[in-house]
Structure 1
Amino acid sequence: MGLTYKEIICFLGLHHRILISERTLKRKLASMNLYRRKNKTSLISVSEFLSKLIMADGMQSGYRWMYQRCLLAGYRVSRLTVSGLLSILDPEGVELRRRKRLRRRKYYAKGPNYLWHVDSYDKLKNYGICINGCIDGYSRKIIWCEATYSSSDPRIVAGHFISSVEKLGSCPRKVRGDRGTENKRIEEIQSVLTNHGSFIYGPSTGNQRIEAFWRHLRMECCQFWIEFFGYLRDVGHFTGDILDKNLVQFVFMEFVQKDIDDAVSVWNTHRIRPTRNGGPSGKPCILYCLPELEGTKDYSTQVDPDILGICRNRCLFNQNNPGDTDMLHLFKLLMEENELSSPGNVDEACDLYQTLRHLANYEIYNL
């Protein structure tokens, strides 16, 4: 354990009521062939032990921690020796720790459509707009990213999935998502289309591929809308009730989706730099459509059109899912009665929102 003589004596006295001097302790240790500087473990044995730790849970550990693990495992070795061996066995890790960097695990996907990552983005959910997306794990190409009225209805999320499968003409080998109820229908459909269980559950925070895209989407698109809707809330034009959320969906959904589409287009055509954590470099759209350039192939699975049609009947699609139909009819009626036109930009949409909000409140609450 690497205890000093003084620590051993105190431990024996306080916990075992054994009182001995340091000289007696040294004599006892010598009689048991226990020495601090003698009988060192061979470097080969220590190297093998350290190599196993580096390949497992010790890849982030420094030499002090590894030295302590050697002692606990019964190896007699100095801290300086452990430090030197780590410099030889894992120079990259030593350099990363010197720079206070973590070594990330390597991501692995064989090729396009080998693994899709599905997740929901809830930063605009408080304002009635939910975003659901999917990214190809190998190429990082966005398969879909849709602003919807709900991200918790499994039929809506499954509708995005089926639409993408129909467009592709095949389905991915595997799909990964969190354990939310919204992914249950995709799991069922994926199992039917591939004839085997091919849905992987995992925490949303570990869904690293799509989490990287969410950061991009926040910066390029959603931050504007977070601040915009936050302003409406701060000045009293949004209270979070059913009327306000449905009105936000009715007026602003189209503009939010357009900004999302623009962000997706930029993402799919930007160049990914080489990294140490695995994965090819290049433009996602090229990596997805031309996997042969990287020496791999498309791993999608062909689907039966009849089975796909049956699965489609279990889904909801954006055009068939207008949210609250009563509110939708009310807003359209108010626009017709007051000769209000559809907005062409965000400023016009903001004016329409405030006008409809006033008219709808008067119509419903006589305010």
Structure 2
Amino acid sequence: MVVPVISRKRGVYLNLTEPTMAAMSVNTKMLNVLQKLNLQQAFPNFEREKITPDIVCRLSTHEMEILGVSSGIDGFSRLITFLKCTGNNTSRTVLDCFFSGVAKYGIPNKVRSDKGLEYVSVANYILIQKGPNTMVTGKSTHNQRIERLWRDVYEGVLSYFYNLFYFKENEGYLDPLKLTNLAALHFVFMDEINRKLQFWAEAWAGHRLRTVNSSPLSLWTSGQLQNARQELSEGKGKQYGAGL
């Protein structure tokens, strides 16, 4: 998703002589979203989509120094279930982000992601909880819901920090090869990024989706009620108990 300033394989610093062109290339890729597909899900929580691109990041020779963003979105309502900036993208960190969404919205029936190793713990968890065929993996470009979300998140929040970090690096204020610089970057900016991400996610939940003329939060709420009515009509009401 971004042009790294460090090569992971060789650990060589890339001298970007034309940073503006590099930024334009990134923006072009971010805006190059596939055409919308007709992939309406049956109910909320039917399929949770997630992926973790390192949009706001500076790669170093140490994997732990990545500043990345993790997100989950409900496939039916487009409600964001979690959106968080973290200091790394290890499997455990992604699982913790996933659990924050589970705590608020429950365990999804299915999860979709790409084939990155950072999703191994999430895959193990969902397969244990929901059984086989509940973890769908594939190319991130085929995950249309999350691709569209990341375009909007980048434009609404992350592009500011991305351009700011590039500016600081080009002016010599930030050296991505120095661990002290990266630690300071995390300390100063991570909370602010998360604050803006949370504010943006709350606004997203209440904004009207043009195709359905309703907000993600409204779709989620009505879908949960519809799920409950269907389960009761199918004779599954015993698990809810009886109120007299």
TM range (shorter): 0.7 to 0.9
For 2:101, which of 151, 164, 183 is the aligned residue? Answer: 164
Q: Is residue 111 of structure 1 aligned with residue 43 of structure 2?
A: yes
Q: CA deviation at 1:149?
A: 0.6
Q: CA shift at 1:260, angstroms? A: 0.8
Measured after TM superposition, the shift of residue 297 of structure 1 is 2.4
Tell me the distance in 1 between the aligned counterparts of 2:73 and 2:192: 22
Q: Which amino acid aligns with 1:166?
A: A
CA 194–131 in structure 1, closer or farther in 2 if over 3 Å, else same: same
Alpha-carbon distance in 2 for matches of 1:140, 1:188: 24
Distance in 1 separating the partners of 2:108 and 2:196: 27
2:113 paired residue number:
177
CA deviation map 1:81-125 (0-9, x unaligned): xxxxxxxxxxxxxxxxxxxxx975311311100000011131212
- The aligned counterpart of 1:287 is 219
User: What SS does the aligned partner of 1:111 have?
Assistant: coil
2:70 is the counterpart of 1:132: yes
Instruction: State the percentage of identical aligned residues.
Output: 25
Alpha-carbon RMSD across the aligned residues, in angstroms, is 2.2
Name 2:145's counterpart in structure 1.
209
* Unaligned residue ranges in structure 1 (runs of 5+): 1-101, 275-279, 301-367
C-alpha displacement of 1:184: 0.9
Which residue pairs with 1:254 in the alignment? 191
| 2:88 corresponds to | 150
Would you say 1:224 and 2:154 are equivalent positions? Answer: no
Q: Which residue type is aligned with residue 81 of structure 2?
A: I
Unpaired runs of 5+ in structure 2? 1-33, 60-65, 232-244
Q: Equivalents in 1 of 2:107, 2:159: separation in Å?
A: 33
Q: Aligned equivalents of 2:114 and 2:205: distance in 1?
A: 24
The verdict on how the C-alpha distance between 1:292 and 1:113 changes in structure 2, with shifts beyond 3 A counting, is closer
Q: Which of 194, 200, 217 is equivalent to 2:136?
A: 200
Question: Which residue identity is paired with 2:83?
Answer: C
More helix by share: 1
Of 104-113 and 182-191, deviating more is: 104-113
Compare relative contact order (CA 8 Å, sep 6+) and give the higher one, 1 or 2.
Answer: 2
Aligned-partner Cα distance in 1 for 2:203–2:152: 10
CA distance in 2, matches of 1:218, 1:253: 16
Q: How far did residue 157 of structure 1 move? A: 0.6
Distance 1:121 1:281, change over 3 A: farther
- With normalisation by structure 1, the TM-score equals 0.49
In the TM superposition, residue 292 of structure 1 has moved relative to its aligned partner by 6.6
Structure possessing the higher radius of gyration over alpha carbons: 1
Aligned length: 190
